[in-house]
């Protein structure tokens, strides 16, 4: 198999995630530090509500970008959709880095968000469609790892530029996020088209060539290439008979259980945000302040370590996700995250005293001893590590592999948009919650984590080791299996 080529293609498309990482990932990390930088606060004075709106403006763009991605990816293909997203982000990044008013900052973040939302749907879709089923989870996990690398880099860039005694303190980190977008523009021209998209557009010869490069070092007659092409072709022939003409068809009840699959995809994406991970990432310096770190430099240093924990803990998912399976990974991660959040909230509630910081205009918690502070910091790291190996990658893997080709673009745009909608709400309300109920915020997320682990156990089937074309059998579409056998006979007769 041309596995090296698959990894190269996955790696190049994952630059869309480094870019996504160096903007969604990078933006998570960068904005958390920038919001506390003296020169940024001087130019953009803000309280908890205004900070929430700065964070959430990008996420609002992400929501609409993800919705538009379904139509775009089906119309012009996965490859060119990645190109469009990266160009749009360059425009948004320039507007942010050169901002002099709140209006320009909001505009830049919304435009950048459109690109991030589009790529967040396109990249896992593309990776799932070029990957062999044996390593599909691993390749999509590379996406999450790229994001964590972006987060880690952004945290340390914030820590470094904090030493600059000028407005470049916060502008430089925003200029840097444009670099991976430019790399992605160039890298896109070296990526193959999705073979499934090519077959769906009657470009069979090109599809066979792509499959040969991905699976057999260019041998178009290899058995593995011909078998996968036949399976894709049969699926396309069948699905054209019942192709989704509108988004309303995602809600129909039928033998394919489409509505159930859409609901599973929507909820797993919503659950990923309700873990509280982006609350930790967006507002890490404030959270570490509640943990007892007094000065801004120490808080940003602890935030940098947090980014490294996130990056390193994603590696086990890349190695073992296709062996352990999706369900055990999600359930164990949910229980560990829930326990960590509840412990953090309990420590802050029993050992903390609430006070108001006039210079920042926010409420914080003062912990009465160093042991409590260290415990909170440790469990923040445990929480982040638990998310990184479980819900981080698997929350994107699962929706990317459960839908049939005819609705995959539309369905994934809906599930991804749901992720960004909940991300938007989290980004908007968390600074207000941290300012008002503080420790109660952690208890809320802890309860959510435990509930979602139970939901995975009860409602979600295991998809490990299944090809994208085999998902219909997993979800009970017996009629499709019969039609595929019929189509196979017709193809052989022809």
Task: Please check whether residues 57 and 152 belong to one and the same domain.
Answer: yes
- Residue 356's beta-bridge partner residues? 363
Domain span at residue 320 reads 250-493
Residue 477 has what pLDDT?
59
The token pair at 8 is: 């190269």
Write out residues in the chain with pLDDT < 50, as ranges: 1-2, 14, 16-17, 478-479, 481-482, 484-485, 488, 491-492, 494
Task: Please check whether residues 30 and 111 belong to one and the same domain.
Answer: yes
Residue 17 has what pLDDT?
47
Q: What are the Cα distances from residue 79, in Å, to 50, 119, 184, 194, 484?
A: 37, 11, 11, 7, 28
Q: How confident is the model over 309-326, as pLDDT tens digits?
A: 998 998 988 888 888 899
Residue 374 lies in a domain: yes
Q: At what angle do helices 223-241 and 478-493 cross, to 10 degrees?
A: 120
Task: Please check whether residues 172 and 45 belong to one and the same domain.
Answer: yes
Residue 236 lies in a domain: no
Residue 362 lies in a domain: yes
How high is the mean pLDDT of the chain? Answer: 83
Residue 213 lies in a domain: no
How far apart (Å, rounded) are the C-alpha atoms in residues 156 and 174?
Answer: 13
Residue 223 lies in a domain: no
- Single residue among 148, 174, 192 that ends a domain in this structure: 192
- Residue 353's beta-bridge partner residues? 366
Task: Please check whether residues 331 and 452 belong to one and the same domain.
Answer: yes
How far apart (Å, rounded) are the C-alpha atoms in residues 493 and 487?
Answer: 10
Closest by alpha carbon to 402, among 250, 299, 283, 281? 250
Task: Please check whether residues 152 and 278 belong to one and the same domain.
Answer: no
How far apart (Å, rounded) are the C-alpha atoms in residues 388 and 309?
Answer: 9
Task: Please check whether residues 57 and 151 belong to one and the same domain.
Answer: yes
The token pair at 456 is: 């995975």
219 DSSP assignment: -
Residue 177 lies in a domain: yes
- Single residue among 192, 216, 236 that ends a domain in this structure: 192
Task: Please check whether residues 75 and 153 belong to one and the same domain.
Answer: yes
Residue 238 has what pLDDT?
74
Residue 482 has what pLDDT?
47
Q: Into how many domains does the chain fold? A: 2
Task: Please check whether residues 182 and 269 belong to one and the same domain.
Answer: no
Residue 114 lies in a domain: yes
How far apart (Å, rounded) are the C-alpha atoms in residues 299 and 305?
Answer: 10
- Single residue among 192, 220, 237 that ends a domain in this structure: 192
Residue 44 lies in a domain: yes
Task: Please check whether residues 16 and 142 belong to one and the same domain.
Answer: yes
Task: Please check whether residues 321 and 462 belong to one and the same domain.
Answer: yes
How far apart (Å, rounded) are the C-alpha atoms in residues 293 and 255?
Answer: 56
How far apart (Å, rounded) are the C-alpha atoms in residues 368 and 348?
Answer: 10
Contact 124, 400 (CB under 8 A): yes
CATH number assigned to the domain comprising residue 339? 1.20.1250.20
Task: Please check whether residues 36 and 135 belong to one and the same domain.
Answer: yes
Contact 216, 54 (CB under 8 A): no
CA atoms within 13 A on the CB side of 260: 14
Task: Please check whether residues 183 and 262 belong to one and the same domain.
Answer: no
Residue 24 has what pLDDT?
67
């Amino acid at each position: 198999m041309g596995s090296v080529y698959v990894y190269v293609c996955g790696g190049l498309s994952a630059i869309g995630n480094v870019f996504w990482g160096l903007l969604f990932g990078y933006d998570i990390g960068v904005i958390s530090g920038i919001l506390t930088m003296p020169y940024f606060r001087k130019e953009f004075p803000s309280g908890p509500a205004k900070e929430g709106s700065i964070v959430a403006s990008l996420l609002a763009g992400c929501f609409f970008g993800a919705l538009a991605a379904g139509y775009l990816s089906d119309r012009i293909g996965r490859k060119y959709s990645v190109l469009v997203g990266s160009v749009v982000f360059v425009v948004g990044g320039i507007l942010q880095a050169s901002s002099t008013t709140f209006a320009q900052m909001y505009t830049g973040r919304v435009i950048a968000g459109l690109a991030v939302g589009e790529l967040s749907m396109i990249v896992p879709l593309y990776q799932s469609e070029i990957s062999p089923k044996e390593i599909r989870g691993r390749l999509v996990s590379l996406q999450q790892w790229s994001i964590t690398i972006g987060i880690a880099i952004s945290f340390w860039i914030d820590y470094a530029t904090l030493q600059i005694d000028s407005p470049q303190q916060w502008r430089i980190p925003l200029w840097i996020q444009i670099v991976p977008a430019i790399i992605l523009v160039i890298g896109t021209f070296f990526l193959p088209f999705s073979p499934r998209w090519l077959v769906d557009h009657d470009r069979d010869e090109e599809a066979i060539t792509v499959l040969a490069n991905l699976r057999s070092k260019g041998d178009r007659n290899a058995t593995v290439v011909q078998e996968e092409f036949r399976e894709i072709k049969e699926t396309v022939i069948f699905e054209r008979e019942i192709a989704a003409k509108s988004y309303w068809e995602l809600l129909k009840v039928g033998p394919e259980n489409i509505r159930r699959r859409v609901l599973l995809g929507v909820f797993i994406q919503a659950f990923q945000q309700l873990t509280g991970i982006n609350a930790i990432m967006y507002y890490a310096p404030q959270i570490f302040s509640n943990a007892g770190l007094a000065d801004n430099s120490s808080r940003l240093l602890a935030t940098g370590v947090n980014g490294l924990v996130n990056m390193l803990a994603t590696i086990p998912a890349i190695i073992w996700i296709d062996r352990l399976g999706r369900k055990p990974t999600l359930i164990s991660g949910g229980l560990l995250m829930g326990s960590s959040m509840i412990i953090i909230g309990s420590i802050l509630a029993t050992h903390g005293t609430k006070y108001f910081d006039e210079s920042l205009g926010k409420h914080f918690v003062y912990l009465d001893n160093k042991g409590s502070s260290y415990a909170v910091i440790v469990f923040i790291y445990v929480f982040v590590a638990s998310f990184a190996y479980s819900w981080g990658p698997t929350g994107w893997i699962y929706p990317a592999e459960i839908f049939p080709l005819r609705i995959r673009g539309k369905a994934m745009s809906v599930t991804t948009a749901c992720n960004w909608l909940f991300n938007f709400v989290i980004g908007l309300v968390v600074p207000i919650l941290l300012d008002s109920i503080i420790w109660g915020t952690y208890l809320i997320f802890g309860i959510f984590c435990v509930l979602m682990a139970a939901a995975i156990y009860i409602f979600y089937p295991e998809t490990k080791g299944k090809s994208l074309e085999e998902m219909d059998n997993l979800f009970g579409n017996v009629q499709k299996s019969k039609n595929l056998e019929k189509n196979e006979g017709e193809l052989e007769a022809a």
